[in-house]
């Protein structure tokens, strides 16, 4: 497949701008890759149309081949459709911005992983965010279902609402909320029953529970192996119950990643977490970049994406080099570098293959730069005024306090970042003496 794509792109090389037939030809291959990744048919169509309307007429950048440019457009559009680079708003991705106890409703088909995910999320909120969490099972139809949640709770020291035989889902939900209020809980996780297929009774019951507890989050739990059917499931639950986010399970068994795109495209709701195993700690934040890579990898397109990524790095390096030549490196430049680093973390698989980048990654590891640190640093810079960013010298004590408050960090963190910026600016100044060629070489470009 990459060979065929290569031919198409070879022919494109000679043109100045991307024409409709050029792009269509290239996108036929992308279409196959998406279908092989098990992306639902209507979503494939929407996606291809979106890329086409963006790509046609674009000037081919000087520094890249048209082929790389098309793949870069495909990749960027895919990441954007999967939720962009930003990712979840906090560690767990669950929005708990409400008066406690915050009800979180778990919905989905039977066997999708609702009960397991309920315990996984509860544990994550307890361990990572120090929340007090109560779980309750509203699955009164399968005899062992309530017991299953109870056992998961016992095994992992997560409080579970005591089972009262004969009580119906709406009443259990109300009782759970009441118990959580009395017990001073922060969150109540409500695990509901599912059916093998979307049906009227299921929807009516879930809607009744929703009306009774007014959940702050309604998470649709969906099996990533559902494939083409994922679209119907997501659509029904979103229309009938209204979901606020998606938990994709069994991602460990799915090398294709297509369901993520289908779910996201059909509901427009973020994929908040992914299940990657049966154990209670097998839950991870969703990274659009990684799934994009996986989806494109289906058709051997990933090698071309690598080149596109290299292009992004190169453009950025060139831009920076130009500024460095003038001896400039302000906090805006630092923010863009941090973002770049974070992106690289997200695309670690791809990035490992790039020359030069491996070195940066080793440095990152050595400096213990993980994603949350980068995010915090970006938040600090984000809380500065335009003036402060381009002229950090004006940031004195009272401004530091304001910036720390605005970014949810401490003055100490702000100081640390400013010091780091000084060191980087100093390094950039020294590099500018090497000239652009020397700088590009030192960046590995």
Binding residues for GTP: 108-115, 191-195, 249-252
Phi-psi region of 363 (alpha: psi -120 to 50; beta: other; left: phi over 0): alpha
**Residue 111 binding partner per list Mg ion, ligand GDP, none, with a CB distance cut-off of 5 to 8 Å that depends on partner kind:** ligand GDP
Bridge-based pairing state of the strands 187-191 and 245-249: unpaired
**Which 86-115 positions form the footprint of Mg ion (CB under 5 A)?**
114-115
Distance from C-alpha of 97 to C-alpha of 403, rounded to nearest angstrom: 22
Nearer to ligand GDP, 276 or 308 (CB): 276
Taking CB under 6 A as the rule, does residue 101 contact ligand GDP? no
Distance from C-alpha of 94 to C-alpha of 355, rounded to nearest angstrom: 37
Q: Kindly give the interhelix angle for 288-297 and 302-325, rounded to the nearest 10 degrees.
A: 130
Distance from C-alpha of 363 to C-alpha of 365, rounded to nearest angstrom: 5
Which residue in 101, 103, 194, 215 binds ligand GDP (CB under 6 A)? 194
* CA distances from residue 370 to 25, 293, 342, 348, 376 in whole angstroms, order as listed: 40, 20, 8, 12, 10
**Residue 293 binding partner per list ligand GDP, Mg ion, none, with a CB distance cut-off of 5 to 8 Å that depends on partner kind:** none
Phi, psi of 422 (to 5 degrees): -60, -45
**Residue 287 binding partner per list ligand GDP, Mg ion, none, with a CB distance cut-off of 5 to 8 Å that depends on partner kind:** none
CB of 231 to ligand GDP, least distance (A): 19
Nearer to Mg ion, 50 or 277 (CB): 277
Nearer to ligand GDP, 6 or 253 (CB): 253
Stretch that binds ligand GDP, among 56-64, 154-162, 236-244, 271-279 (CB under 6 A): 271-279
Nearer to ligand GDP, 193 or 335 (CB): 193
Taking CB under 6 A as the rule, does residue 278 contact ligand GDP? yes
Angle at alpha carbon of residue 323, lines to 321 and 325, rounded to 5°? 70
Q: How many CB atoms lie within 10 A of CB 110?
A: 15
CB of 248 to Mg ion, least distance (A): 17
Nearer to ligand GDP, 242 or 277 (CB): 277
DSSP H or E segment with residue 301:
none
Taking CB under 6 A as the rule, does residue 249 contact ligand GDP? yes
* CA distances from residue 137 to 116, 148, 173, 267, 392 in whole angstroms, order as listed: 11, 9, 8, 26, 53
- Tokens 């969490």 belong to which residue? 133
Taking CB under 6 A as the rule, does residue 253 contact ligand GDP? yes
Distance from C-alpha of 234 to C-alpha of 9, rounded to nearest angstrom: 37
Nearer to ligand GDP, 169 or 275 (CB): 275
In the stretch 107-126, what mask flags binding to ligand GDP with x, by CB under 6 A?
-x-xxxxxxx----------
Contact 103, 188 (CB under 8 A): yes
Nearer to ligand GDP, 109 or 414 (CB): 109
* CA distances from residue 8 to 14, 18, 25, 165, 306 in whole angstroms, order as listed: 11, 12, 7, 66, 18
Stretch that binds ligand GDP, among 106-114, 124-132, 317-325, 358-366 (CB under 6 A): 106-114
By residue count, the chain amounts to 445
In the stretch 30-69, what mask flags binding to ligand GDP with x, by CB under 6 A?
----------------------------------------
Distance from C-alpha of 310 to C-alpha of 38, rounded to nearest angstrom: 27
Nearer to ligand GDP, 86 or 196 (CB): 196
In the stretch 108-147, what mask flags binding to Mg ion with x, by CB under 5 A?
------xx--------------------------------
List contacts with Mg ion (CB under 5 A): 114-115
List contacts with ligand GDP (CB under 6 A): 108, 110-116, 194, 249-250, 252-253, 275-278, 282
């Amino acid at each position: 497949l990459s060979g065929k794509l290569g031919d198409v792109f070879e022919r494109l090389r000679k043109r100045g701008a991307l024409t409709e037939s050029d792009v269509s030809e290239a996108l036929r291959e992308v279409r196959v890759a998406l279908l092989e990744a098990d992306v639902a048919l209507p979503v494939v169509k929407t996606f291809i149309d979106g890329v086409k309307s963006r790509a046609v007429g674009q000037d081919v950048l000087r520094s890249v081949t048209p082929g790389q440019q098309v793949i870069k457009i495909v990749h960027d559009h895919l990441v954007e459709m999967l939720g962009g680079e930003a990712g979840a708003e906090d560690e767990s991705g669950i929005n708990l911005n409400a008066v406690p106890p915050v009800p979180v409703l778990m919905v989905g088909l039977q066997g999708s992983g609702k009960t397991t995910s309920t315990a996984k999320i509860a544990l994550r909120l307890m361990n990572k965010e120090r929340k007090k969490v109560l779980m309750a099972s509203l699955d009164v139809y399968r005899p062992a279902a309530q017991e299953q949640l109870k056992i998961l709770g016992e095994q992992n020291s997560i409080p579970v609402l005591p089972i009262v035989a004969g009580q119906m889902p709406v009443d259990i939900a109300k009782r759970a909320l009441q118990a959580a209020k009395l017990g001073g809980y922060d969150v109540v996780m409500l695990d509901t029953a599912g059916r093998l297929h979307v049906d009227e009774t299921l929807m009516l019951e879930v809607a009744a529970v929703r009306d009774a507890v007014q959940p702050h989050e309604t998470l649709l739990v969906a099996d990533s192996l559902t494939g083409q059917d994922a679209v119907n499931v997501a659509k029904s639950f979103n229309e009938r119950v209204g979901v606020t986010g998606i938990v994709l399970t069994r991602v460990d068994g799915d090398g294709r990643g297509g369901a993520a795109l289908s779910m996201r495209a059909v509901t427009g709701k973020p994929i908040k977490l992914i299940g990657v195993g049966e154990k209670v700690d097998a839950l991870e934040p969703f990274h659009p970049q990684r799934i994009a890579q996986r989806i494109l990898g289906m058709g051997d397109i990933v090698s071309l994406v690598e080149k596109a990524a290299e292009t992004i790095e190169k453009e950025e390096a060139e831009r920076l080099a130009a500024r460095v030549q003038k001896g400039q490196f302000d906090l805006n430049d630092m923010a863009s570098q941090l973002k770049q680093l974070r992106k690289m973390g997200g695309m670690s698989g791809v990035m490992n293959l790039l020359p030069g980048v491996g070195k940066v990654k080793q440095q990152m590891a050595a400096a213990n730069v993980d994603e949350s640190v980068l995010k915090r640093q970006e938040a600090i810079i984000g809380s500065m005024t335009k003036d402060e960013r381009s002229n950090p010298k004006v940031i004195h004590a009272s401004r530091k306090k304001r910036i720390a408050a605005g970014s949810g960090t401490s003055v100490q963190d702000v100081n640390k970042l400013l010091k780091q910026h000084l060191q980087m600016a100093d390094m950039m100044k020294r590099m500018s003496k090497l000239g652009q060629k020397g700088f590009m070489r030192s960046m590995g470009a």
